[in-house]
Amino acid sequence: MGAIQISTPILKSFTHTTTTVGTSAVQIVQPAVVGTRRVSVIIQNQSAVATLKLIFADASGSDGIIIQPATIFSMENYNGSVWAIASAASTPVHIALSIV
């Protein structure tokens, strides 16, 4: 899969991070720094077989959004943290954030 690229006049740039997620909850996106605002959060499940659960509270949260293999989840104007749990060990996840 290629890098996430979007071009609009509002978005100045994206910061990209690739990490691996296992079967225990890990925080993949920290809360936005005070004084900044996220325009876009894009999370890409790069696994061909594992699902990824995204949790928008804390590690103890049990409800989340399931991201199927090789798919992307995006949202706008979200400044909180994102936790993730994969259905398999060492699931590759790509994160792109646009901050203004």
pLDDT in tens, 1-45: 555 555 555 556 788 999 999 999 999 999 988 888 888 899 999
Q: What angle do CA 97, 90, 53 make, to 5 degrees?
A: 60
Residue 73 has what pLDDT? 97
Q: Is the pLDDT of residue 82 over 90?
A: yes
**Exposure string (b/e) for 58-67, b if CB count within 10 Å is 16 or more?**
eeeeeebeeb
Q: What is the mean pLDDT of residues 69-93?
A: 95
Per-residue model confidence as pLDDT tens digits over 44-64? 999 999 999 999 977 677 789
pLDDT band at 99 (very low <50, low <70, confident <90, very high): confident
List 84's β-bridge partners, or say none: 26, 54
Q: Delineate the domains of the chain, giving CATH numbers in brackets.
A: 21-99 (2.60.120)
Q: What is the pTM of this model?
A: 0.83
Residue 65 has what pLDDT? 95
